[in-house]
Amino acid sequence: MSVLPASLRRLTPDRLRDDVRLRALAVGLGVIPPRTMHSAEDARVLLDAARGARRVVEIGVYEGSSALALCHALGADAELHLVDPFGRHPDALPSGWGATEWATRRVVERAARMRGAHAPSVHWHVILSSELASRWSGEADLVFVDGDHSEAGCELDWSCWAQFVPLGGRVVFHDARADRAGGRGLPGPTAVVARHFRSDDPALGWEIVAEADRTVAVRRVA
Ligand SMILES: C[S@@+](CC[C@H](N)C(=O)[O-])C[C@H]1O[C@@H](n2cnc3c(N)ncnc32)[C@H](O)[C@@H]1O
C-alpha cells in the first residue's frame, strides 16, 4: 500500500488525524507516514553522530520517524535499540497524542525490510528508559535522548545512560535549544543541557560537538 499524497491527507479533519487508534491503523498500514518530529537540521546532527556507531539507543520512539532515519543510516553491523513504553505521555507529547507499539513496529520493520541485508539489527524495549538502563550491559556509542521531556525525566536519562557511552561516543539531546538565538526546544531538556554542558561547572570529560535547531550532540572526550 502506498502513502496517500499530502494534499489528500490535509483534507482529513484534525479530530480524525489525531485519533490515536485511527492514526495507528493508518500509520501501521503505511497509508500515512509517521509524524516527523525533527527538522532537516535536527536530522543532520543526529545522523552525523550516528556515523560509524555500532550500538545505538533511541529513547522515545513515538511513531518512528527518527528510528526510520537511523534505520536507513546505520550499517548491517550496527544494533539499533528502540525504547518506548508507548501510549499517551504528558511530558513527552502534545495533549492527546500517543503512538502504539503495533504501528511503530510495522513502520520500522518496513524500513528494515527495504534495506534487506544492509539493515541494522533492531531491538525493541517496550519499557521506560531507566528500567532498560538498570539491566543494560556493555557500551552504547550513541544515545538519543528524546523520551520524557520533563527536566527530571531528561536528567534521569542523562544520569542513567552517560556511564555506558565510551570515549568518542555521543549523547544527542532533542528539544534542548530553547535558550539559543534561533534555536527551539522545551524547558526540561534545555535546562539539562545548559547545566551540564554550558555552565561554569560543566560535566567533566564531555563537550558539545554539534548543535542546530532543537538538537545538541555531546561527545565523551575523557
Ligand atoms: C517526542 S516523542 C519521540 C519522537 C521520536 N524520537 C521521533 O523522532 O519520532 C517522545 C516519546 O517518548 C516516549 N517516552 C516518554 N517517557 C519515556 C521514557 N521514560 N522512556 C522511554 N520513552 C519514553 C513517549 O511514549 C513518546 O512516544
* Protein residue with its CA nearest to atom 11 in ligand 1: 60
Domain count, the chain: 1
Sign of CA dihedral 92, 213, 140, 67: positive
> Using CA atoms, how far apart are residues 14 and 50, in angstroms rounded to an integer?
34
Please give the grid coordinates belonging to residue 135.
539491566
Q: Is the CB of 125 under 6 A from ligand 1?
A: no
> Using CA atoms, how far apart are residues 81 and 1, in angstroms rounded to an integer?
27
Segment 126-149, tens digit of pLDDT: 999 999 999 999 999 999 999 999
Distance 2 CA to ligand 1 centre (A): 26
The confidence score (pLDDT) of residue 11 equals 65
* Mean pLDDT rounded to a whole number for the chain: 93
The confidence score (pLDDT) of residue 143 equals 99
Query: Does residue 9 form part of some domain?
Result: no
Query: Does residue 118 form part of some domain?
Result: yes
Query: Does residue 94 form part of some domain?
Result: yes
Mean pLDDT confidence for 54-60: 98
CATH number where 40 lies: 3.40.50.150
Place of cell 554550558: 198
Q: Is the CB of 147 under 6 A from ligand 1?
A: yes
Say how many residues make up the chain. Answer: 222
By CB atoms closer than 10 A (0-12, 13-18, 19+), residue 8 is exposed
Query: Does residue 129 form part of some domain?
Result: yes
Q: List C-alpha distances in Å: 211 to 15, 65, 90, 152.
A: 35, 19, 26, 22
Q: Is the CB of 59 under 6 A from ligand 1?
A: yes
Query: Does residue 185 form part of some domain?
Result: yes
Q: Is the CB of 36 under 6 A from ligand 1?
A: no
Segment 144-180, tens digit of pLDDT: 999 999 999 999 999 999 999 999 999 999 999 999 9
The confidence score (pLDDT) of residue 13 equals 67
Q: List C-alpha distances in Å: 27 to 5, 105, 122.
A: 14, 10, 19
SS3 96: coil
Q: How confident is the model at residue 101 (pLDDT cuts 50, 70, 90)?
A: very high
Of 1-15, 38-52, 66-80, 181-195, the range with the lowest mean pLDDT is 1-15
Domain with 98, as residue range(s), is 35-220
Distance 214 CA to ligand 1 centre (A): 15
Query: Does residue 2 form part of some domain?
Result: no
Mean pLDDT confidence for 110-118: 97
> Using CA atoms, how far apart are residues 211 and 178, in angstroms rounded to an integer?
12
Query: Does residue 8 form part of some domain?
Result: no
> Using CA atoms, how far apart are residues 67 and 191, in angstroms rounded to an integer?
25
Mean pLDDT confidence for 13-17: 65
Distance 147 CA to ligand 1 centre (A): 3
Query: Does residue 134 form part of some domain?
Result: yes
Segment 197-213, tens digit of pLDDT: 999 998 899 999 999 99
